[in-house]
Amino acid sequence: MTDSINLFGKDVPLYGVFFFLGIILAVCVAVLLTKKKNPIPLYDMVCSASYIMIGAIIGAKLLFIVVSLDSIIEQNLSLLQVIKGGFVFYGGFLGGLLGLIIYAKQFKMPLGPFMDLYATVVPLGHAFGRVGCFFGGCCYGKEHDGFFSVTYTDTLNAATPLNTPLLAIQLIEALALLCLFAVLLTVYLKTEKKGLTPTLYAIIYPLIRFVLEFFRGDRERGAFLNISTSQWISIAIFACAIAYLVYTTKRERTTSAPATVKDTVK
């Protein structure tokens, strides 16, 4: 299996091709959606996306360093090797969210419309990123010889076992993310309720990730009490989303309840 394609006489890693393809598709869909609902000026789309990308890159790299610190020290990796190393999605997710919050606060814009929009398209870009992981050999699954298995003979990731059948967990997650995108897109277009798509995303994706983590084989990502770092983060995000959903539901019921009329003294 090839991990690169030849473009204009140069070998380009498919990991990067699918990564940027996912970003481009997500941005294009976001632009189309904002024309149909919750119109956001193109200028603000571009600027907010820039803040998100900067935050996502920094966050993904920082979390990678945190969970891989023992391995980095053990292998005595240089700063350049660390920079050229991997990323962790949840770090990118949290960093990107922080970048969006900073943008909204800095320019005094409502956060809600951006959250509704970006939460809808994130799974689409993430799905293509996971396909890139499949070709790059990172985020690989456990040993598995059968349906949905892949055997790498050479990869961009030095830690990936070679000549060993592995579960193609990257493609499984990509399919799950495409299904999640379809659900969130339908909700975004069909409902007027603000904050529903980011809440659903924060509930459904952590469930997907928590389950799929049991089938991942790259244990260098770190674990505590036999639960991976990503699973702990999934638990935290899921709990926060459920708490937010309960809070908003109770608040809506309180505000929509009819006022009671007390008996007057005659």
| Helix or strand holding residue 225 (H, E) | none
Residue 117 belongs to a domain: yes
What is the model's pTM? 0.85
The more confidently predicted of residues 111 and 155 is 111
Three-point CA angle 26, 32, 35, nearest 5°: 140
Residue 157 belongs to a domain: no
The answer to whether the beta carbons of residues 118 and 104 sit under 8 Å apart is: no
DSSP string, 76-123: T--HHHHHTS---HHHHHHHHHHHHHHHHHHTT--HHHHHHHHHHHHH
Token pair in block for residue 52 = 């998100």
Residue 226 belongs to a domain: yes
| Helix or strand holding residue 239 (H, E) | helix 229-256
How far apart (Å, rounded) are the C-alpha atoms in residues 127 and 133? 10
List, for residues 230-240, the tens digit of each pLDDT value.
999 999 999 99
List, for residues 185-214, the tens digit of each pLDDT value.
999 999 888 889 999 999 999 999 999 999
List, for residues 119-174, the tens digit of each pLDDT value.
999 999 999 999 988 988 888 999 998 888 999 888 777 778 888 999 999 999 99
Residue 78 belongs to a domain: yes
- β-pairing, 4-7 with 10-13? antiparallel
Residue 257 belongs to a domain: no
How far apart (Å, rounded) are the C-alpha atoms in residues 92 and 64? 10
Q: Which of 13-17, 39-43, 187-191, 260-264 has the lowest mean pLDDT?
A: 260-264
Give the pLDDT score at 179: 97
Residue 234 belongs to a domain: yes
Residue 261 belongs to a domain: no
The answer to whether the beta carbons of residues 217 and 167 sit under 8 Å apart is: yes
Res. 81 pLDDT band, cuts 50 70 90? low
Give the pLDDT score at 266: 47
Instruction: Give the residue numbers spanning the domain of 225.
Output: 4-152+162-252
Q: Is 146 exposed, middle or buried (0-12, 13-18, 19+ CB in 10 A)?
A: exposed
Residue type, 123: P
The count of structural domains within the chain is 1
List, for residues 214-234, the tens digit of each pLDDT value.
999 886 666 678 888 899 999
Residue 194 belongs to a domain: yes
Q: Give the number of other CB atoms < 10 A from CB of residue 184.
A: 24
Residue type, 175: L
How far apart (Å, rounded) are the C-alpha atoms in residues 144 and 148? 8
